Structure 1
Amino acid sequence: MKLLIALWAFAIGLMVPLQGVINARLGKEVGGPTQSSLISFSGGFLIFVIIGLFNYQNLPSFSKVISLPPYLLSGGVIGSIFVLSAIVVIPQIGATGFTALIVAGQLISTIIFDHYGIMGLQVKPINTLRIVGVILLFSGVILVNRN
């Protein structure tokens, strides 16, 4: 089961740069990053409306949603910042450079999240091997961004 989950995560990893490249190209075709982001999120919204129609009995009530702490509702905002940033940055530094920097940023933040068990994550302390991994990844970021 863990192998299947790992393969799923890997496949999503393959799609993240594709999403950025597609949205960057869409931005060129429709007049800019804001327009491209709106079109991109409209497609995603439509998919979740369709899913919601088939799974409506499991949707939380509006009162439940508005009673949640605001930070729990920030995922969509963060996602929109990511999509808009990809549209702007990928044409400037390329998909490889963008993805390398995204992965480096993700590794730094997630190693901190794991170390402190942020938001209920299992605590996984920072150790020498993890630090070496971060150093190697940053070395890779430097190498793939050199001309």
Structure 2
Amino acid sequence: MAILLIALALFMGAIISIYLPMISQTAKILGSGPMANVPFFGIAFAASIIIAFATGNKAEQFQKITVLPPWLLTAGVMSAGMIIGSSFLIPKIGIGTFFVLLVSGQVLAGMVFGYFGLFGVPASAMSYGKVIGAILVIAGVYLVTFR
């Protein structure tokens, strides 16, 4: 089971490597990063509803959306910022550098969030292995970004 979950996570990483450059190309064609979000989110919204119904979600689950804490809805703003930011950065710094920095930010922020138990994730102790891993991530960023 764990191997399947790891494979799925790797596949999702590969998908991000595909769709962010696609959004960047959309922004180039449309002449606007924010406009590149419009078709993306429209299709994502429709696909999410179809998938939700196809996987057994019911109308009462959709009604619960109205009771979500407002701070959780800021994830939509963050998502829009990610898409707009990637459509701006990829043509300027290149896709390799962009993804190294993106993943490094995720790893380092994840360590902090995990240590403090932020955003509903279980707290996890800091270890020498994690600190060494963070140092290696930063070294990797340097090597890829500044060669």
Specify if TM > 0.5: yes
Instruction: Give, as a single letter, the amino acid of the residue that structure 2 aligns with 1:60.
Output: Q
Match of 1:27 in 2: 27
**Which digits, 9 at most, give the CA deviation of each residue in 1:117-137, with x for residues without a partner?**
224423221111111111111
Name the CA distance, whole Å, in 2 between partners of 1:58 and 1:135: 48
- The secondary structure found in structure 1 opposite 2:122 is coil
Match of 2:128 in 1: 128
Runs of 5+ unmatched residues, structure 2 = none
**Which digits, 9 at most, give the CA deviation of each residue in 1:8-53, with x for residues without a partner?**
0011111112111111111111222111111111121121132244
Runs of 5+ unmatched residues, structure 1 = none
Cα contact 1:20–1:95 (8 A) shared by 2: no
Q: Could you tell me the percent identity over the aligned residues?
A: 25
Divergent runs of 4+, >3 A: 52-56
TM-score by length of 2: 0.89
Name the CA distance, whole Å, in 1 between partners of 2:28 and 2:119: 38
Deviation, structure 1 residue 65: 2.5
Cα contact 1:26–1:36 (8 A) shared by 2: yes
Count of residues in correspondence between the two structures: 146
Instruction: Give, as a single letter, the amino acid of the residue that structure 1 aligns with 2:124.
Output: K
**Which digits, 9 at most, give the CA deviation of each residue in 1:98-132, with x for residues without a partner?**
11111111111110121122244232211111111
Closer, same or farther in 2 for the Cα pair 1:59/1:73, shift >3 Å?
farther
